[in-house]
Amino acid sequence: MRGERSRERRDGISADAVALARVARDESALAFALDCRASAILGPDTIAESLEVATELCAVAERNSDFERLAHGRFHRAIALLLLGDVATATGEIRAGERVVDLLKQPAQQWLFTALRTMLAIAAGDLADAEARIEAAWELGRRSIPGLVIPIYWMQLFELAELRGDARALEEPVAALAGSEPSRPVFRCALAKLRAELGESGAASRELRELTADGLAILPFDLEWLYAVSMLAEAAVLVGDEAAAGAIYEALLPWSSLNTVDPSEGMRGSVARYLGVLAAADARLDDALAHFDEAIAVNERMGVRPWLAYTHLDAAAVLRRRRLQGDAERADRHAAAGEAALRELGLPPSTAVATALARLPRPLGSTR
């Protein structure tokens, strides 16, 4: 269903399938239809409905001992909860799904939850564990469902390398994904961000212009959207594209309370952090700091330690630009928190984004 670009068509077809299964009173067909609908409709604006669909799917599948659909129901619930930033409850759903797939012993279903666990390990900064899990997931899924497994394998390696500050070697695989998966521009967003970080500003800017044209119309508004746009936000700041940054900020603002996640490619923390870096690039420093405060609270609650550290560093850079009374002390506290966390995780002490924010000129009329 997600291969159909039109969200309205996916919604209509999947709703019809559910309705027909209800009329037929065929619970096996209903479980299958609910499973498809959960995949078809999930996006930032349909999380509540998606949770309802997935919850009904679990109930129907459990009544009929349909363990494959039950595992999928747990997976769908976990993803919706992760979008809401409720990592603790989502982890409970993942555990329940793992118990089901242990009974099934089907590599494709085992891969589904192994890849999801890998994504969470990367987001939490447990990189040695994540590295082992990436290879375990690859072995489970590469023969059974390569079309799903290959993009996730490379994107998880990309996320791992990004955190370690050595993603240059992933440029070619990410570019290959972007070229081979035209219906999923999320990979072009990753490529734009990577090229911006590598200093390939011309190539990154060209991607940004195309991806942000007409209010980001090229990006399907589905479960990959927040994750894709978070990478565009960083790319826009890194290359200094004010028009792209403004368009991204306006598109992203309604979803500030959510988490950036694309199962199981990656999870990059609170949407509010990306709003903060975009506002800072536009010299709206008070707005940026308000967004960072929200992002710090959300990222701390979710346990996404690298992204929490990065948000502290972003806030420190902005406070040092603003220079109001007390800002220097606050900046030092944020910087110390971010640097200590990165040291503990064995990650580079700063990021390209924080460095870019620190180098931006101070707003006119700001207090010395």
- Nearest one of 264, 277, 266 to 310, comparing CA atoms: 277
Tokens of 355: 């460095």
Tell me the one-letter amino acid at 51: L
For the chain, the straight-line distance linking the first and the last C-alpha, in angstroms and rounded, comes to 56
- Nearest one of 152, 102, 358 to 265, comparing CA atoms: 152
Instruction: Return the pLDDT at 362.
Output: 77
Instruction: Return the pLDDT at 367.
Output: 45
Instruction: Return the pLDDT at 126.
Output: 98
Q: Is residue 269 within 8 Å of 295, Cβ to Cβ?
A: yes
- Nearest one of 234, 194, 186, 239 to 211, comparing CA atoms: 186
Q: Is residue 184 within 8 Å of 176, Cβ to Cβ?
A: no
* Rounded Cα gap, residues 106 and 47, in angstroms: 28
Which domains does the chain show, CATH number per domain? 1-105 (1.25.40), 106-359 (1.25.40.10)
pLDDT in tens, the chain (368 residues): 445 678 899 999 999 999 999 999 999 999 999 999 999 999 999 999 999 999 999 999 999 999 999 999 999 999 999 999 999 999 999 999 999 999 999 999 999 999 999 999 999 999 999 999 999 999 999 988 999 999 999 999 999 999 999 999 999 999 999 999 999 999 999 999 999 999 999 999 999 999 999 999 999 999 999 999 999 999 999 999 999 999 999 999 999 999 999 999 999 999 999 999 999 999 999 999 999 999 999 999 999 999 999 999 999 999 999 999 999 999 999 999 999 999 999 999 999 999 999 999 877 555 43
Instruction: Return the pLDDT at 124.
Output: 98
* Rounded Cα gap, residues 198 and 166, in angstroms: 10
CA-based R_g, the chain, Å:
21
**Strand-strand pairing, 259-262 and 266-270:** antiparallel
Instruction: Return the pLDDT at 18.
Output: 98
